Structure 1
């Protein structure tokens, strides 16, 4: 069975007429008839029946047509993906990232990249650390920003693009709200608002509190920086958030105070599959990102 046979079959099924199908295919009518006959012989069934001057699909022809239609769509998509792979100025980049990077970082770098590659499309996906790893391994995405950076992983590899400081965020009326910097153990008696289990910032905050000599008492748990920031601003507790979490316009804001001891940071990396060659368009974006963060490293750290 040849691809040409399937293409001719689908065109005849669409036009219900060999002559019209041949005209659209820019081939002789006899060539279309011959390919359809050979296909029917190979399958051992009649795919069409004559109805006046037209051809109509038989019941088994209808069944075969549905399968071939799906197959041809998949083939067209595969061809499109190959073209996208080979052309770094077009195509689609599939990238995943944690929610906290979607507030400022992702819009910024994508906007900058689009200045050079205006025809490139993006497909975005947000997730937590485990799902980001899974999406890269399963090829659901080409690239993923992730925090913390997985230093050792058999199936993904990448680069640390920046290290970001975490700040204490306090209710505006907190006794330490006006301080330039504090030791984290000064918050040992406060109730904490943390990210839920599975979010990468939670163990970072927990480890920092442990280094400061206490275990945080959790008052609330949340899944978005906006929620945590809002609860702190409303006086429900304290928390630690990275600097990127403060790019917003909500008028209800907590106070932000630098932590001098212990130093609390998170690494942000850009990863991809270890055993896979990136499409050229995704590789172009990766190269752009590495250059971008290298150029702006002083601004980000």
Structure 2
């Protein structure tokens, strides 16, 4: 016989207890998992049996076991709780993301395509999320993150973890030698670092991620570059190379090695060449503050974005890198 509405209302608060009982088949264990005294658990099960109209437990030696009626009921209880939890998650995530704002700081080279790819993937799920964007040098990005002015930072190299900052690598991309399209190496598919020992070098400024990477490449090759210019963005660096004012080492800029994407009648133009060095790559990663729970706990919109970047970001961005780096 169907339970009356009043009985259903009385039975609903007991569903979590019954679900744990089904998993543990132990009254004390089920009560402990829910933070209840054993006596409260026993009374709750007895109350549920009375409301259902049949015993849910029977004695079995020193223990208990579920009755056939209880076993038949358990899948329905699990399904009801799962559906309710799914509804709660949906409402909670939607409402919080809609009202949420995520502050992202990132290096200049990630603004053209990489960060937009990640934001687009997130906005496809949470279209009303607001983003606050800030870009700068690697050191500047990490300083913003540490100061609490940004929720997450996208940097290369990956930020080293600390007591307050956590980080994870997302993917790697190659570094390329960038030369004028009439340079002596312009027709080469690859070149070694030592082949530009005497060349004027267009470097990124101190504090930029690319500066630390090129410094490491030159240290590994055993010499210091002849720095002719220090730039604050890769577009300017390519422009200086395009004018024949030096060579540079940069992330791929949309051209396969050996292809000249920008030569024109003025003589301007540059070519990217693969570098023969095991260090000729940059590893890009995400960094965020360790909240430690409590009042400063990570807001759900930030958590959801971070989780998407860590789970889906490597596949999204590696596809982009493969396309841009195709030979």
* TM-score normalised over the length of structure 2: 0.61
Identify unmatched segments of 5+ residues in structure 2.
1-91, 256-260, 323-327
CA shift digits 1:228-286 (9 cap, x unpaired):
0111011000000012x448x97754100000234311221111112353211111111
2:309 to 275, 289, 293: 289
What's 1:265 paired with?
Answer: 281
What's 1:95 paired with?
Answer: 104
Following TM superposition, by how much is the alpha carbon of 1:167 offset from its aligned partner in structure 2, in angstroms? 0.5
Instruction: Trace 1:221-240 onto structure 2 (pairs within 5 A).
Output: 221-240=230-249
What's 1:71 paired with?
Answer: none
Following TM superposition, by how much is the alpha carbon of 1:218 offset from its aligned partner in structure 2, in angstroms? 0.6
Tell me whether 1:140 sits opposite 2:160 in the alignment: no
* Greater RCO, CA 8 A, separation 6+: 1
Following TM superposition, by how much is the alpha carbon of 1:298 offset from its aligned partner in structure 2, in angstroms? 4.5
Counterpart CA distance in 2 for 1:292 and 1:109 is 9
Provide closer, same or farther for how the CA distance between residues 139 and 298 of structure 1 changes in structure 2, counting only shifts above 3 A.
Answer: closer
1:85–1:281 contact (8 Å) kept in structure 2: no
Instruction: Trace 1:7-18 onto structure 2 (pairs within 5 A).
Output: none
Match of 1:173, SS state, is: coil
What's 2:185 paired with?
Answer: 176
2:154–2:287 contact (8 Å) kept in structure 1: yes
1:212–1:262 contact (8 Å) kept in structure 2: no
What's 1:8 paired with?
Answer: none
Runs of at least 4 residues off by over 6 Å: 83-86
Match of 2:145, SS state, is: helix
* TM-score normalised over the length of structure 1: 0.66
Following TM superposition, by how much is the alpha carbon of 1:86 offset from its aligned partner in structure 2, in angstroms? 6.6
Give aligned pairs, total: 217
Match of 2:245, SS state, is: coil
CA RMSD of aligned residues (A): 2.3
What's 1:256 paired with?
Answer: 272
Counterpart CA distance in 1 for 2:161 and 2:288 is 13
Counterpart CA distance in 1 for 2:100 and 2:161 is 31
2:298 to 278, 284, 287: 278
